[in-house]
Amino acid sequence: MDELPPVAVFLKRLVLAMAVVMIAGFVVLIVTLVTRLNGPSLSMPNSITLPDGVEATSYTVGNGWYAVVAGDEILVFNATTGVMTQRVQINYQQ
């Protein structure tokens, strides 16, 4: 049996190494997804009482607080009591 040229042996080893790295990366990706998806979920309040005429466009959670974005305002609420603690006006200029 004829021996492969040195360049072919190098390429064969390079392809094998690339395959091992790709498989390892795929395993790491799957493990990361599984651990992230099985992690603790965010605790959302059952209901949020917004001031009259305010319509929420987004919602975010912090440590002990949650905020509701409504138009050009951010309304910050206490997570345990549900009382609005801060109202921030956003002045955005393009």
Q: What whole-number distance in Å separates Cα of residue 79 and Cα of residue 46?
A: 11
Instruction: Retrieve residue 2's tokens.
Output: 């004829």
Residue with tokens 């651990």: 35
pLDDT-based confidence at 73, cuts 50/70/90?
very high
pLDDT digits (tens, 9 = 90+) for 2-57: 788 999 999 999 999 999 999 999 999 999 999 888 876 666 677 778 888 888 88
Q: Where are the chain's structural domains? A: 1-39, 43-94
Q: What whole-number distance in Å separates Cα of residue 24 and Cα of residue 18?
A: 10
> End-to-end distance of the chain based on CA atoms, in angstroms?
73
pTM, two decimals, is 0.54
Q: Higher model confidence: residue 92 or residue 32?
A: 32
Mean pLDDT to the nearest integer, 72-85: 90
